Amino acid sequence: MTAPIGVVFNPNSKKNLRDPARFDRLQQLLGDDGVVWRTRHVDDIAAVVHDMLDNEVPYWVADGGDGAFHWLVNVADQVVRERGKGESIPAIMPTNSGTIDFMGRKAGVVGDAESLLTELVRLTRRGEAPERVPIDSLRLRGVHGDWSERPGAPFERVGFATALAGIGQGFFDKFYANGRLNGVGVLETVGRILASASTRARPVAFLPLPTSLRCYADSVFEQAHLHIEIDGKPVPLKHFRVVNAGSIDINLADLFRLFPMAAAPGVIHVQVGDPDLLDVVRQLPRLMAGKAMNFEGLIECPATEMSLAVRGQGSIDPVIDGELFYGLKALSVTPGPAIEVLRVVGQR
């Protein structure tokens, strides 16, 4: 009988580099009820997906956070389409082992990796089926620019939340560079961006402040020059500091609640606009309260498609589920497939 649980394990993640014995510990925890597949690079995931599909493994586990979940979903989506056998992506359990873990929060997955796997093993041994929660996704399709590393190559991803340009995209560059990848790091990065941006306003602009402070937020508030259409209607702006989309309402480290309109099934929540610093500061309490943003010129609405094309120089460098991609000249965002997430409750 095929083992019912397949764990996709990345030995190069920080937690696994700190604890090399963790692979053996997870396999021992699963016993005969599961297999831990070691993937040293994202390119290794495809072979694992083929093996799990061939062996009809019903429960998949992404050992990591939102990034691990993102890569497993995307490789599985590609493999399933290439095989052409009418297969679908089996239910996947995130293990809440990442920075933000918004997928686990959305699906109601509670506990750390070991306690979640322990509970999943207990359920399968008792012949009980774990609850499956369908989660709406985004489908992003585009093309790389002629100046990129893959000129003219197609781009396709499945995701759940994306910052396509502007402040959201720039925030993640700063957040990962900060090195403190948790809720405290989110607050630190937001504080540094706002402090830096405020140095450009009078009378602070005339103070002899360090260049590192004064210039820290410049790339974050840089305008993106794009042509954008929402459901086929051109957006009457040419420059943007906000271009975001989400398929689900997001809880960002219990600090910010984003894309509330995406709580409705079958639509994406899109945000486009060109706010200044004061506009951004005014939005923070609204985002913390889970409310839609509100500033002059903002377009924020449920939609079924948003398309972007670069005007002149530059590129679209989207952040998708916290993963960074670069060098696109055009991109469309539409609702994607519903992804089933295993809702398992381990130790709190």
Q: What is the mean pLDDT of residues 238-246?
A: 94
Please report, rounded to a whole number, the percentage of residues in the chain having pLDDT higher than 90.
51
203-213 pLDDT, tens digit per residue, is 655 566 677 77
Tell me 214's DSSP state: H
CA distances from 304 to 3, 133, 155, 245 (A): 39, 22, 19, 11
**Alpha-carbon gap, residue 15 to 101, rounded angstroms:** 15
State yes or no: pLDDT of 33 exceeds 70. yes
Cα 109–chain centre separation: 17
How many structural domains are present in the chain?
2
CATH code: domain of residue 107: 3.40.50.10330
Q: What is the mean pLDDT of residues 96-106?
A: 78
Instruction: Give the pLDDT confidence score for residue 176 in this predicted structure.
Output: 72
**Alpha-carbon gap, residue 230 to 302, rounded angstroms:** 10
Q: What is the mean pLDDT of residues 223-248?
A: 95
Please report, rounded to a whole number, the percentage of residues in the chain having pLDDT higher than 70.
93
Q: What is the mean pLDDT of residues 87-103?
A: 83
Whether residue 302 is found in the same domain as residue 165: yes
What φ, ψ does residue 256 adopt, rounded to 5°? Answer: -125, 140
Q: Is 119 inside any structural domain? A: yes
281-336 pLDDT, tens digit per residue, is 788 788 777 777 888 889 999 999 999 999 988 899 999 998 889 999 999 999 99
Q: Is 23 inside any structural domain? A: yes
pTM: 0.87
CB contact set of 339 (below 8 Å; sequence gap of 6+): 73, 89, 92, 134, 135, 137, 158
Instruction: Give the pLDDT confidence score for residue 1 in this predicted structure.
Output: 45
Q: Is 105 inside any structural domain? A: yes
pLDDT category at 182 given cuts 50, 70, 90 is low
State yes or no: pLDDT of 52 exceeds 80. yes
CB contact set of 115 (below 8 Å; sequence gap of 6+): 346, 347
Instruction: Give the pLDDT confidence score for residue 179 in this predicted structure.
Output: 67
**Alpha-carbon gap, residue 27 to 307, rounded angstroms:** 44
Whether residue 307 is found in the same domain as residue 210: yes
**Nearest CA among 154, 299, 173 for reference residue 226:** 299
Whether residue 173 is found in the same domain as residue 213: yes
Choose the weakest-confidence range: 70-79, 168-177, 205-214.
Answer: 205-214
Q: Is 204 inside any structural domain? A: yes
Q: For residue 341, give both structure tokens.
A: 């997430």
Q: What is the mean pLDDT of residues 55-83?
A: 92
Q: What is the mean pLDDT of residues 155-181?
A: 84
Whether residue 51 is found in the same domain as residue 122: yes
Q: Provide the residue range defining the domain that includes 104.
A: 5-135+339-343
Instruction: Give the pLDDT confidence score for residue 80 in this predicted structure.
Output: 94
Whether residue 186 is found in the same domain as residue 276: yes
Q: Is 348 inside any structural domain? A: no
Angle between helices 22-30 and 113-125 (to 10 degrees): 20
Q: What is the mean pLDDT of residues 248-272?
A: 85
**Alpha-carbon gap, residue 57 to 45, rounded angstroms:** 15
